[in-house]
Structure 1
Amino acid sequence: MSAHEKTLHPETGGIVVRAIPFSFDEKINPVWYPGRPEWSHMANGASLTMPYLEPFLIKTVREALKKASNQQLKEDVHGFMAQEGNHFQNHRRYNEILKCHYPKLADVEEEMAAEYKNFQAKSLRWRLAYTAGFETMTMGMTEWLIEARRDLFGNADPSVSSLILWHMVEETEHKNVAYDLYEDLYGSYWPRTWGLIYGSFHVAWASRKGYKRMLEGDRLWNKLTSRLRLWRMVTQFLIKVSPAMLRSLAPGYHPSKVKDPAWVSRWTDAYTDLPENIIPLLDTSHPDIPAQFVR
């Protein structure tokens, strides 16, 4: 058994917790995909939300955990919290570098901190519906990012690309947890549906605030050519992610019924064989970006 396999702990059920300390060069270009600032900053804007969104999700499921009745579900919730905790810590390290380039991002962070603080005053059902809804949306995001990885990450900075795709792999692994926890405690269809819509669009709007500031900093926001490229990427996002959101509204839906991308299992297999203390960086120069790590 490799050192990486030992990250599976009894209290997390079958969810693997990978404490990966991604490192980012202080001189990294925020336009981590050369020549594609709009796409780079869309992803950067999403990264900016993580240290505010994911602690909110963790606090919500931790509170709900006290009321859960299923032992396996309780173990899975622990795995969910551990994975999400590792996610936002890595994103925070990257975000600190972004703020060095774009100091006005601090204002966006202040707004998000205030919003999620206000959310904490809402009912547990409201917060858990938001959590389950947002986690449902990430399934469509995962499918898009992995299936289109050649276009979205080819020849891009490997540290940022690997961070994003690792995050998506683990979103796949815990895709059932928030949904099952909501169903265990409440099981009401309409609040969960509202949570999907509101949670998804709230995070998307917060991300937009971030990438707008960065494109303004690059003096691109008011340029028509840049705006057209941005709209193209936003349209691609909506076309790819919306079907996943719509299918989740169908009666009898459950995340476990959605087939995971095959690349996810290849990533997890490659990680299992990775030597200790090696950060799993993907080879973005390869045409297929295989689930094999640069050593």
Structure 2
Amino acid sequence: MTIESTGDRPEAAGSLGGPGTAPPPTPSSPVSADEPDHLVLQPRDVHFDWSELDLHWIPGEPFATHVINVLHLLLPEGERWFVEVFKEAVPLIRDEKLREEVLGFIGQEAVHAEAHAGVLDHMDAHGLDPEPYVGQVAWMFRRLLGDRGLTGPRASAWLRSRLALIAGIEHMTAVLGQWVLDAEGLDRADADPTMLDLLRWHGAEEVEHRAVAYDLFMHLDGRYGKRAIAMVVATAAMGALWVRGVRFLMANDPVLRRTVKPRVRDMLRTGRMGLTPSLWQLARSIPSYLRPGYHPSQHGSTGQAVAYLASSPAARAAGHS
């Protein structure tokens, strides 16, 4: 699955294997006075104790719990894939500031993968074996989206296609990250505080590094058509995987015993309550990414993300360890 576009390729993008010209200027939007100008991205060696976590960690809301639990099924393999693809790209980066940001991104994503993997062990201990679904996700990232053993121009084209996919996925994860930072409904529902800290720590780091994947793609390729097609593919794939994941979790939940089935109206209801992301909010975020002048800095609050990371129990403990 190589994503190519028929549009002209910007000469200034300096793509892989092309002339070593400078990357185009990055589109930007006005940044408020309280937004940090530049952050040094750093992994935080966080740890979470799941010994007291209930299988339905949003009390009385198994559907909303499992909508968010899909993240734990998808993210470990997905973020390990991000890391491997970005490692392939690092030697090709000609901008030192971007190289520094990419290395910080790699470190953060590696920690994210391990943090979510810990929840899978908790599910298994409570009688919900995630392996059948996780095994399929692993096949997709490792085999379907792996390096395929390609060389030369074909390897370069496949790398650019995967970077475009990651840029699209990172747009969605940044939207989800901002949502969970703002999701007061989860606090009102008395959601488990340790799980909330995991989600908000991760969400804050997604907002913090939201521009890195996009900037890397623009640095090494930059074609609008490729970016747009990749976003459509990423959105369709994430949507299908999420629906399938919710169905899997609900069907295999040992408490529900297949007596409760997920419905669209449950998603609408929990979205109105602020327990799950609003479908309308997610849908509105896609056209913004497709604007020619889009840049991730135009959405989300770095200041809010940094403020949460300064107060997160897990992040604070990691900083003092």
Give TM-score, length-normalised by structure 1: 0.81
CA distance in 2, matches of 1:234, 1:107: 28
Per the TM alignment, residue 262 of structure 1 is displaced from its structure 2 partner at its CA by 5.1
Equivalent position to 2:46, from 14, 20, 25: 20
**Are residue 106 (structure 1) and residue 143 (structure 2) matched?**
no
Of all paired residues, the percent bearing the same amino acid is 25
Q: Kindly indicate whether residue 272 of structure 2 is the aligned counterpart of residue 246 of structure 1.
A: no
In structure 1, the residue matched to 2:229 is 194
Over the aligned positions, Cα root-mean-square deviation in angstroms equals: 2.7
Gaps of 5+ in 1: 1-12, 280-295
For residue 62 of structure 1, report the CA deviation from its aligned partner: 1.1
Residue 204 (structure 1) aligned with residue 204 (structure 2):
no
Instruction: Determine whether 1:269 maps to 2:310.
Output: yes
Contact 1:144/1:240 (8 A) holds in 2: no
**Alpha-carbon distance, 1:119 to partner:** 0.8
What's the CA shift for 1:261?
Answer: 6.5
SS at match of 1:66: helix
State the Cα distance separating 1:130 from its structure 2 match: 0.8
Match for 1:136: what amino acid?
H
- State the structure with more CA Rg: 2
For 2:310, the aligned partner's letter is D
For the pair 1:260 / 2:260, whether they are aligned, the reply is no
2:248 to 202, 209, 213: 213
Aligned to 1:75: 100
Residue aligned with 1:248, SS: helix
Take 1:261 and 1:71, find their aligned partners in 2: how far apart are those partners?
22
Give a deviation string over 1:95-133, Cα, whole Å, max 9, x none. Answer: 111133354521111111111121114610111111011
Which residue matches 1:288? Answer: none
Q: Deviations over 1:11-50 (max 9, x none)?
A: xx7113211112211x522210001111100111121111
CA deviations over 1:144-175 (Å, ceiling 9, x no partner)? 2222x221343111111110111000001111
The Cα of 1:277 is off from its aligned counterpart by 5.3
Q: Secondary structure at the match of 2:278?
A: helix
Tell me the number of residue pairs that the alignment of Structure 1 and Structure 2 aligns.
Answer: 265
Matched position secondary structure for 2:290: coil
Q: Against the structure 1 CA distance between its residues 92 and 209, is the aligned structure 2 distance closer, same or farther, given a 3 Å change threshold? A: same
Aligned to 1:58: 83
What 5-or-longer segments of structure 2 have no aligned partner? Answer: 1-38, 149-157
Map 1:141-156; keep pairs closer than 5 Å: 141-147=176-182, 149-154=183-188, 155-156=190-191
Structure 1 match to 2:161: 126
2:257 is the alignment partner of 1:232: no
C-alpha distance in 1 between matches for 2:285 and 2:47: 31
**Structure 2 CA distance for aligned equivalents of residues 277 and 187 of structure 1:** 37
Paired position in structure 2 for 1:140: 175
Give the TM-score of the pair, scaled to structure 2. Answer: 0.75
